[in-house]
C-alpha cells in the first residue's frame, strides 16, 4: 500500500487528454486526432496549434497503456531468451532492438534459464501482457507444442535455435553447413582422427552441426571418435569437462577437435593447456559462433561465424512484416568459417 492510488500516482502528473481539451477549449476527441500523426490533417491548422500549445503548456504525455487497451496494440515485442549472461544472445537482442525501435516498439525481455516450465510460464505471462509479437531465442524441441499453440494467438518468430517442421516463421542459420565447413577444414589439413564435443541435442543447432560434421567425415574417410558426453548447457565449464572425458579415454587421441560452440572450445582449450597439449601443435581445435574476443585467445580460435546481429535484425523485420499482415519467408543465414591459429596441418 505504499503506492497511493489517487491521481498522485500517475506518472504524467495527472495531465490527461481531457485536461488538454479543456485548456484548448475543444473536445477530447479533437485533441486525440490532433495528436495522432495519421489524423492530424483532419484538424484545422489553428485548432491544432491551440491544442499543441495547451499540451505543451501542461506537459501532456499520452498514456500508452490506455491507448494500448483501447486499440489492442502495445507496441511491445516479447523476447524470450535462455540466458542473457550468454554472449551469444546479446547481439541478437541488440539487432532486434535496433530493427524494431524505429517503429516505436520496445522489447520486453525474460529469461527461461533453459527450463521448460519457466518457458511455459513466461510465454503465458507475455500473452497476458498483450505483447504484439514474440521472438523466441530460447526454443528447445520440447517447447514446440506450446509455442505453436501460442502462435495462434499472437505472431511468433523463432530465432537462432531452429525447430523441425514447424509452421512458425524462423530466422535461423545453416548449422549443418557450419558443421560441414569444420570437417572439410580438418580434412584439408590432413587430419584422420577427429572428435566432436557435443552440445545438448534438444537445442536444434547442435544436432545439425553434429550431422553436418559427421556427414563430411564419413564421405572423406575421417575417423570420428564417438563421445557419449554432452553438455547440459554449453558453458565454459562444460568444455573443460568434455575435454577431460576425451583426455581420459583410452585409445589414440584425435588430432583435431570440433567444439560445437565457442564456450566449449574455450573450456577445452584451457583443459588442453593444463594437460600440456599444444594447440594447434598436438591438437587442432575449432569452435562455433565467433563470440567477441575469441580472436584474442591464445591461440586465436578458428571458428564458424554465427551472424547473431543479422539474426536479430532479421527477426525484427519479420515481426514488422507479420504485424503488417505480410507472410514472411523463413530466412537461413549462411555460416562462414573463420580460420585462425588454433587449427593447423597435422
Partner DNA sequence: CTGTTAGCGCTTTCAA
Partner DNA sequence: TTGAAAGCGCTAACAG
Of 64 and 121, which CB lies nearer to DNA in the complex structure? 64
* Cα dist from 229 to 18, 137, 143, 198, 251, whole Å: 65, 25, 23, 7, 17
Q: Which three cell numbers stand for residue 247?
A: 583426455
76-81 and 331-333: which strand pairing? unpaired
Give the three-class secondary structure for 329: coil
Q: Which residues contact 113 (CB under 8 A, 6 or more apart)?
A: 82, 83
Of 266 and 304, which CB lies nearer to its own copies in the complex structure? 266
x/- site string to DNA, residues 51 to 80, per CB under 7 A?
---------x-xx--xx-xxx---------
Q: Which member of 223, 244, 270, 332 binds its own copies (CB under 8 A)?
A: 270
74 binds, among DNA, its own copies, none (CB under 5 to 8 A by kind): its own copies
In the complex, what is the shortest distance from the CB of residue 17 to its own copies, in angstroms, rounded to a whole number? 13
* Alpha helices in 249-280, H assignment, sequence order: 262-274
Q: Which three cell numbers stand for residue 298?
A: 591464445
Q: For 224-230, which contacts have Cβ atoms below 8 Å and span 24 or more sequence positions? A: 224/193, 224/194, 224/195, 224/196, 225/193, 225/194, 225/195, 225/249, 225/251, 225/254, 227/195, 227/196, 227/197, 227/198, 229/197, 229/198, 230/198, 230/199, 230/200, 230/201
Q: Which range of residues in 14-22, 89-97, 99-107, 144-152 is near DNA by CB under 7 A?
A: 14-22
User: How far is residue 173's CA from residue 90's CA, in Å, rounded to a whole number?
Assistant: 17
Q: Site size for DNA, by CB under 7 A?
A: 32
Q: Which three cell numbers stand for residue 54?
A: 495547451
In the complex, what is the shortest distance from the CB of residue 56 to DNA, in angstroms, rounded to a whole number? 14
Of 21 and 344, which CB lies nearer to DNA in the complex structure? 21
Q: Which range of residues in 3-11, 111-119, 173-181, 315-323 is near DNA by CB under 7 A?
A: 3-11
Q: Which range of residues in 172-180, 211-219, 223-231, 266-274 is near its own copies by CB under 8 A?
A: 266-274
Say whether residue 26 binds DNA (CB under 7 A). Answer: yes
43 binds, among DNA, its own copies, none (CB under 5 to 8 A by kind): DNA
Residue 40 CB burial class (10 angstroms; 0-12, 13-18, ≥19): middle
Of 81 and 181, which CB lies nearer to its own copies in the complex structure? 81
User: How far is residue 74's CA from residue 96's CA, in Å, rounded to a whole number?
Assistant: 17
- On the question of a cis peptide bond just before residue 280, with omega within 30 degrees of 0, the verdict is yes
Say whether residue 61 binds its own copies (CB under 8 A). Answer: yes
User: How far is residue 95's CA from residue 75's CA, in Å, rounded to a whole number?
Assistant: 17
In the complex, what is the shortest distance from the CB of residue 124 to its own copies, in angstroms, rounded to a whole number? 7
Q: Which member of 53, 326, 330, 334 binds its own copies (CB under 8 A)?
A: 326
Q: Site size for its own copies, by CB under 8 A?
A: 64
Bridge partners, residue 4, by sequence: none
Binding site for DNA (CB under 7 A): 5, 7, 10, 14, 16-18, 26-30, 32-33, 35-36, 39, 41-44, 46-48, 60, 62-63, 66-67, 69-71
Binding site for its own copies (CB under 8 A): 1-3, 5, 9-13, 61-66, 68-69, 71-74, 76, 83-85, 87, 90-91, 93-94, 97-98, 101, 104, 106-111, 124-125, 127-131, 153-154, 266, 269-270, 291-294, 296-298, 309, 323-326
Amino acid at each position: 500500500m505504499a503506492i497511493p492510488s489517487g491521481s498522485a500516482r500517475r506518472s504524467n502528473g495527472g495531465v490527461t487528454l481531457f485536461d488538454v481539451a479543456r485548456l484548448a477549449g475543444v473536445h477530447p476527441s479533437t485533441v486525440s486526432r490532433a495528436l495522432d500523426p495519421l489524423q492530424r490533417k483532419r484538424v484545422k491548422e489553428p485548432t491544432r496549434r491551440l491544442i499543441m500549445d495547451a499540451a505543451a503548456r501542461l506537459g501532456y504525455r499520452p498514456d500508452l497503456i490506455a491507448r494500448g487497451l483501447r486499440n489492442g496494440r502495445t507496441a511491445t515485442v516479447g523476447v524470450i531468451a535462455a540466458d542473457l549472461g550468454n554472449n551469444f544472445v546479446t547481439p541478437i537482442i541488440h539487432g532486434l532492438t535496433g530493427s524494431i525501435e524505429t517503429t516505436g516498439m520496445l522489447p520486453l525481455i525474460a529469461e527461461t534459464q533453459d527450463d521448460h516450465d519457466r518457458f511455459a510460464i513466461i510465454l503465458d505471462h507475455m500473452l497476458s501482457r498483450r505483447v504484439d509479437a514474440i521472438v523466441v531465442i530460447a526454443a528447445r524441441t520440447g517447447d514446440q507444442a506450446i509455442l505453436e499453440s501460442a502462435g495462434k494467438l499472437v505472431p511468433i518468430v523463432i530465432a537462432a535455435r531452429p525447430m523441425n517442421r514447424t509452421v512458425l516463421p524462423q530466422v535461423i542459420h545453416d548449422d549443418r553447413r557450419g558443421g560441414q565447413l569444420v570437417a572439410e577444414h580438418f580434412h584439408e589439413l590432413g587430419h584422420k582422427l577427429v572428435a566432436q564435443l557435443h552440445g545438448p541435442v534438444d537445442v536444434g543447432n547442435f544436432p545439425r552441426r553434429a550431422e553436418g560434421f559427421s556427414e563430411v567425415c564419413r564421405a572423406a574417410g575421417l575417423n570420428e571418435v564417438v563421445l557419449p558426453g554432452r553438455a547440459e548447457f554449453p558453458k565454459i565449464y562444460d568444455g573443460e569437462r568434455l575435454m577431460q572425458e576425451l583426455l581420459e579415454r583410452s585409445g589414440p587421441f584425435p588430432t583435431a577437435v570440433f567444439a560445437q560452440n565457442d564456450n566449449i572450445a574455450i573450456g577445452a582449450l584451457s583443459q588442453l593447456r593444463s594437460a600440456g597439449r599444444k594447440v594447434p601443435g598436438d591438437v587442432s581445435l575449432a569452435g562455433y559462433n565467433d563470440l567477441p574476443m575469441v580472436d584474442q585467445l591464445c591461440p586465436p580460435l578458428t571458428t564458424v561465424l554465427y551472424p547473431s546481429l543479422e539474426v536479430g535484425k532479421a527477426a525484427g523485420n519479420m515481426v514488422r512484416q507479420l504485424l503488417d499482415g505480410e507472410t514472411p519467408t523463413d530466412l537461413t543465414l549462411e555460416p562462414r568459417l573463420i580460420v585462425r591459429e588454433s587449427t593447423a596441418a597435422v
